[in-house]
Amino acid sequence: MTTLPKFLLLLTLLIMGAYVNHNAASRMEQQRRRQQRMAKLKANATAEDYAFMKKVLNMSAAFTDAANDAPPTSLVVKDGKVIGEGRDRSAQLIDPSAHGEMEAVKAACNYSGATTLEGSVLYTSSKPCPMCLALLYMVDVERIVYYMPSDTTQMKAANASNRRVSEALKQDPAYRPIPELVLQPSDLEKFAGDDGWIKR
C-alpha cells in the first residue's frame, strides 16, 4: 500500500472516530440537560401535586381487576378542584380511544363548558401515550404530572408501542408504515358527476 492510500485510510478512520465521539458526547449532554430539567421540575412540585397523585393511584388501585391489573387513571384539576376524572375503559368499551386521560379531559370539558383547559393540571397514573399527549396539547393544559413505577417492565412495553407512533410521525407521510393516500380537488374531478358531487 502506497503512502497516499494509507494516509487517506488513516484520515477516514480519524474522521469516523471523531464523528462517533461527537455523537456520543452530544447524547450525553442531552441526557445531562434532561436530568437537570426533570430535577428542577421535581424540585418545584407542590404538596398539592403529591396529594392529587396519591388520589390518582388510590383510584387506580380501587379498580384493580381479577388479573391484578390496575387501569391507568387520570384527574384534571383546576384551582385545586377536580373538574374531570377518568380511567382506562378501552377493553370494557371495546374503544381504543377510551384511555384514562381522554375520559378525564372529556369530563373536564363538559364540566367547564369549553374545549380548552387552560390553567388545568392533568394527573395520571401512567405515562400518557402519543394519542393522549396530543389531546393534552390541543386542550392546552398547563402541566402534566404522571407516575413512573419503580418496576419499569410495563413501562418499557408501553414505550415500545409509543416509539412506533413517534417514529412514524417523524417521517414524511409518503414513507410512513401505514400508507397515507392524499387526494386533492384535481384528483377528484374525474369522479365528479354533472352536479359536482362525487359519483358513487
Q: Residue 126 CB: number of other CB atoms within 10 A?
A: 24
d(CA 108, CA 74): 11
Query: Which SS3 state, helix, strand or coil, does residue 170 take?
Result: helix
Buried b or exposed e, range 34-71, using 16+ CB within 10 angstroms: eeeeeeeeeeeeeeebeebbebbbebbeeeeeeeeebb
d(CA 171, CA 174): 8
Cβ distance 78 to 117 under 8 Å? yes
Q: Please determine, for residue 68, whether its predicted confidence score (pLDDT) is greater than 60.
A: no
How much is the pLDDT for 125? 93
Which residues are registered as beta bridge partners of 78?
Answer: 81, 120
d(CA 89, CA 105): 14
152 is written with which cell numbers? Answer: 419499569
How much is the pLDDT for 160? 72
113-119 average pLDDT score: 96
Q: Please determine, for residue 81, whether its predicted confidence score (pLDDT) is greater than 70.
A: yes
63 is written with which cell numbers? Answer: 379498580
Helix %, strand %, coil % for the chain, to 5? 55, 10, 30
How much is the pLDDT for 67? 56
d(CA 88, CA 102): 9
Q: Which residue has the higher pLDDT, 175 or 77?
A: 77
d(CA 69, CA 153): 14
Q: Which residue has the higher pLDDT, 119 or 189?
A: 119
Q: Please determine, for residue 92, whether its predicted confidence score (pLDDT) is greater than 70.
A: yes
Q: What is the largest CA-CA distance in the chain?
A: 79
Task: With cut-offs at 50, 70 and 90, classify the pLDDT of residue 86.
Answer: very high
C-alpha closest to that of 159 among 122, 136, 130, 125: 130
Give 152-193 pLDDT, tens digit per residue: 656 666 677 788 888 888 888 888 899 988 888 888 777 766
How much is the pLDDT for 98? 95
| Average predicted confidence (pLDDT) for the chain | 83
39 is written with which cell numbers? Answer: 430535577
